[in-house]
Amino acid sequence: MKYSEFINIIVESDPRDWIVNDEYGTYIYKENLSVTIKREEIDFSDQGRFYEDWAERFPDKKAYRQKYFLCFHQTIVEDFYVVAVDGFRSYIPYPKLENMTITQFQYKVGSIINILSGHSFDEYLRRTKITVTN
């Protein structure tokens, strides 16, 4: 599989196309079980904290760095970074600070990893004034 094909699978998927195991932090693409997303264990120490204004605009002001791994056949293809905000109610990809934007790819991965949160990923993006670029 080519890198572009791997990325396209993720971009073209719907969050409901993934089998999620929250306990183990894994997301498995139903149409190709070799395509997975894995969550790294979070660092709850001060080193794991994330301090930017946009991430602290919620009732629970503590924000934490979180890393995910986009994998093919258990091999890490790409790292993906998000910020866990508002008491882990949403996971928001790192935006470009100069214009507060994320890419369409970041948006898609964000929608997948937020499937279990029970909160609207789009609403959290709106509250942080983050927009999606093409």
- The pair of three-digit structure tokens given for residue 129, joined into one six-digit string: 């004034």
**101-102 and 131-132: which strand pairing?**
parallel
Q: What digits encode the pLDDT tens for the residues 39-53?
A: 999 888 888 999 999
| Residue-wise burial string across 40-70, b where 16 or more C-beta atoms lie within 10 A, e elsewhere | eeeeeeeeeebeeebbbebeeebbbbbebbb
Q: Which pLDDT band, with edges at 50, 70 and 90, does 116 fall under?
A: confident
For the entire predicted model, the pTM comes to 0.91
Q: What digits encode the pLDDT tens for the residues 65-105?
A: 999 999 999 999 999 999 999 999 999 999 999 999 999 99
